[in-house]
Each structure stands twice: as C-alpha cells, then as structure tokens.
Structure 1
Amino acid sequence: MSTEEKVEMEAVPLKTDTDETKTETAETAVVEKKEAPKKTWFFNKDKKKVIEEEKEIEEKEEKPKKKGWWSGCGKKEKKEGETEEEPKPEMSIGIDMQMRDEKQINDHVKIQFEDVFGEPDTFHSNDCIWRTNYRVFEGTRTFFYKLFAIPMIVVTFIFAILFAFASALNNFIVMPYGKLLSIPLTWISLAWSFVVSTVFNPLANSIGLCFSKINVRKYGINNAPTDLMQA
C-alpha cells in the first residue's frame, strides 16, 4: 500500500454502537422538530384563556337567533325561576256538537229504557221480545223527538226574542234605575237608623221600665178575684 492510501485510511473514523445511537437520536429529533407545529401567538396562550374562548363559542352557538319585532308580539319573556306553563287549550268557536248540555240543566230528562221498564227475577220474557221492546222504545223515542224538534224552531225563535227583551230591559232600565234609587235610599236608611238608635230606642226602653211593674187583674163572677186577666 502506498503512503497516500495509509493517510486516507487513518483519516476516516470507525463507526461504533454509540455513534449509531447518536445518529438515530439526531434523526428522531429532526423528525420531531419537523412534525411539531410552529409556535405562534395562538399556541402561546394560556390554557385558561383557550377554555374560556371555547365556552364563549359554545354559548354563542346555543343562543337563539335574534328574531324580528313581529315574532315577539304577544309573547312574555321568561323570568329566572319561572317554569314553563302548560299550553292552554284553544278556545273553540261555536257550539259543542257532542256535549250539548254542558251546564247539566236537563239531568232530570235522562230517562232510558232501564228507568221505565224492568222485569223482576221471577218474571222474565223471552230474550228476543225483551230486545225488541228495547229497540222499539229507543227507536220510537229518538224518531219522534227529532220530529217534534222541527216545529220547536219557532218556539226557540220566540224564546230568543223574550230573552233579548228581558236582557235589554234589565241592562238599560232595571239596573240603572236601581243604582239611581240606591243613592237616596242610602241617605234615608242612614238617617232612619240614626233616629232610631238615638231617639226611639232609649225612649222605648224608658217607657218599658216605667210600666214593667203594672199587673192587670180581671174580676168576674166565674173567675177568682186573684186570677190574671187573659187576653
């Protein structure tokens, strides 16, 4: 070997295990540096600030969108501590075709077949006859009730006029006249109660005390002289 080759061999260092581990650690450090995000002003913030910002974002998302002025008409804002009220049933316009006696003013007319006819245990007719009687009674009653209800339209018209007249008389004559008379009558009642309590009541009490000891006796032929007079 020549002298130049010897010098080159001496200049190249030999690789060992420690050198390999150093190179591996250096390579991993370089990779971590590459993978790690770049530090900016956003990542340098404290964790508390980041959590507060996330909460503010969530609250903004949960808040309802602002509606126009027309959407809030007739609605009351909820106050703290108040519970949601149950939705009230909507008012129905017109009459109830199912429940036609809401005030139950005609309960005494609720008469059925069982309230009129009945068979005791000792006397029972055939089943077909009993069913036939029931159907005849119910069918005849409903048919003639509907038939008699047709001319009742005239009666309803008359009663409507009478109720309207009575209501107008009560609202525009009787009640105003009664309220008008109540004003002077209160004066009279106050004056009369004052006169009775201050004049007549003590006068009557004093007269009663003066004549309380007087006894009237009746003397007759058939009665004893000491008997009291009977009215």
Structure 2
Amino acid sequence: MDTMMKEDDTEETEIDLGDSEPEDSDELEEPEPLWKAPAREEEEEDMTSALVDISDTKPLLNIRDPRGINDCLKVTFEDVIAEPVSVRSGDRVWMWSNALFEVTRVWIYRIVTVLLAVPVSILSGLLFAILSCLHIWMVSPFIQSVLISTSCLQAWWSIVLDVAVRPFLSSAGKCCGGISVHLARE
C-alpha cells in the first residue's frame, strides 16, 4: 500500500498557534501571567528566591476580574437610560444626567465597598478555611476509611454481579439486539 501513495501530491500546511514569536519584532516583552501582579522595579531587586516571586496571595491591582466572572455588571449610562428618537431632552440635560449617573455609580460603589469589603473578605476567608479544614481532616479520611474497610464487600459484590446479573443482562441484550424498527409513512 505504500507504493500507491504519491509523494509529489503532498502539501505542507503551516498552522499558526500563536505561541511563536513574530520575526519582525525585536522588542517583545514577555507576557505576565494573570495570577502574578506586575512587580515594580525596586521589588525585582529585593526578591531573594523564586518562592517570593511566585505568590498566590499577591493581589492583582491592574486586572481585577481576569476570568470575566462579572461581565454582566459592565453597565453604562446608555444601558440604563435611553431616549427614543421621537422624544428627546435637551443636550445639557443628557450630558449632566450621564455625568451624575457615572459619578453616583462610582462613588456609591466605593463607599459600599469600603464599608463591606473587609468584613465580607474576613467572613469568606473564615468560611473557606473552616470548610477546607473539615474536608481535609474529616471528610476525606472518613471516606478513605470506609472505602478501605468495605473493600472485602466490594469484592463480594463484584462477584455476585458477575455471576447472577451479568449473564441475565447479556442474554437480554442479545435478544433485544435482533429487534429492528422501521418507520414508514403511508
């Protein structure tokens, strides 16, 4: 069969996966990973080990929603208030309404986050720490001990299923395998 293949009909197809560097650009910066906050110049000199450089607890100051969890909250003035063509207010009223909407939205959000962000963060951290501790030290060991202690029962149950249930189901499958249904419109 190898002799039937034509070698002169082969074409090379180049697929750009986007992971190679462009050839015309000499000054490309290496992209920062999303989990790592950009380091300042004086911080780069202070780093003594690779563990200090890679930190999950360093906050992302520039990219605060890297996974796009809150895309539904990107609300602008035009999403909330819109005037039809037939009825219009004055241009000054529209500009002032837009400005007041944006200022109110931003400042009320900042005030509410100052009041609630720290307590909610503390409660969330406490809740996740308790759940992690319970899962690591109680739930997982309990499940593993049950699985270890019931391994003999699992072996017996497997034997019972192989001896009693499997022959019945395989014969029922062979009987039903010969059935064919043809639908015809009259």
- Is it true that 1:182 corresponds to 2:150 in the alignment? no
Counterparts of residues 204-219 of structure 1 (less than 5 Å): none
Match of 1:168 among 133, 144, 148: 133
Can you list the C-alpha shifts for 1:187-226, whole angstroms capped at 9, x where unaligned?
Answer: 43332132022035557999xxxxxxxxxxxxxxxxxxxx
In the superposition, relative to structure 1, how do residues 113 and 185 fare at CA in structure 2: closer, same or farther (>3 Å)? farther
In 2 relative to 1, CA 204–102 (structure 1 residues): closer, same or farther, beyond 3 Å?
closer
Aligned length: 121
Distance of 1:130 and 1:190 partners within structure 2 = 75
- Look at both structures and tell me which one has the larger radius of gyration over its CA atoms: 1
Give 1:125's match in structure 2, choosing from 89, 94, 103: 89
Provide TM-score, normalisation by structure 1: 0.45
Letter in 2 for 1:190: A
Change (3 A) 1:182 1:115: farther
Structure 2 unaligned runs (5+)? 1-28, 38-54, 172-186
Which residue of structure 1 aligns with residue 67 of structure 2?
Answer: 103
**2:177 is the alignment partner of 1:197:** no
When residues 185 and 138 of structure 1 are mapped into structure 2, their CA distance, relative to the original with a 3 A threshold, is farther
**Deviation at residue 139 of structure 1 after TM alignment:** 0.6
Bigger shift: residues 140-149 or 86-95: 86-95
Q: What percent of counterpart residues are identical? A: 29
Q: Counterparts of 2:80 and 2:69 in 1: how far apart (Å)?
A: 21
Task: Measure, in 2, the Cα distance between the counterparts of 1:138 and 1:125.
Answer: 18
Per-residue deviation, residues 62-93 of structure 1 (Å, max 9, x unmatched): xxxxxxxxxxxxxxxxxxxxxxxx96758545
CA drift at 1:140: 0.8
Distance 1:204 1:117, change over 3 A: closer
Aligned-pair Cα RMSD in Å: 2.9
List alignment gaps of at least 5 residues for structure 1.
1-85, 207-231
TM-score, scaled relative to structure 2: 0.54
